[in-house]
A and B are shown apart, each in its own frame.
Chain A
Amino acid sequence: SQELEQSPQSLIVQEGKNLTINCTSSKTLYGLYWYKQKYGEGLIFLMMLQKGGEEKSHEKITAKLDEKKQQSSLHITASQPSHAGIYLCGADAFKTSYDKVIFGPGTSLSVIP
């Protein structure tokens, strides 16, 4: 079955610094999602990537899907305290039919003012 790994597990950065979170899949990614979660709350959708080499940006967050579609990165530029939270990548488990969306273990981000 498909599994998602994320690195790093946790990250502490100074406000204003850039950072990158990685998500690696054991199988080809056909639908890759990035979500953000505040502790003890639900997940908020950030971006979705489907095509190899695709890149999307929203405000100061940029997500990329590599050409082989087995790795994605999330890059935050000039981090702010509001960026703190848990970032999870998720993927549709199979391409040919609708299947469950599975998630990586998450990356906990703390931003120090």
Chain B
Amino acid sequence: KAGVTQTPRYLIKTRGQQVTLSCSPISGHRSVSWYQQTPGQGLQFLFEYFSETQRNKGNFPGRFSGRQFSNSRSEMNVSTLELGDSALYLCASSSGRQYEKLFFGSGTQLSVL
């Protein structure tokens, strides 16, 4: 089975721009979760999608949004980028059942200049 695939691997943007990140989960997995990781805040939960519906949401501003397609692939969008959005964005897939381990992608490293 192929693992979780995130694209692109690296991204450089300037303040005010918007960005879209993509995540392809493991085949058969219906849940995709997104996390932001920074040196100061650690790994912070953004949101989780299950069967095309947002099931859980973290404490991030509305500039952060996401969606999931019928094939379980997910995209995350950040609008009006700020310097503080520079981070490693990780997505994780799972079956969506409770107490199931998450499988993580390698992440997208976003730098906002």
Contacts and interface: CB of A to CB of B under 8 A. Distances in A.
A92 B98 contact: yes
Main SS class of interface, B: strand
> Number of contact residues on B: which range applies?
20 to 34
Contacts of A105: 42
Contact of B42 (A97, A101, A103): A103
A41 B106 contact: yes
Contacts, number: 56
A45 B99 contact: no
Interface in B46-100: 48, 55-56, 58, 88, 90, 92, 96-99
A50 interface: yes
Interface string B23-37: 000000000010100
Interface of B: 4, 33, 35, 42-43, 45, 48, 55-56, 58, 88, 90, 92, 96-99, 101-107, 109
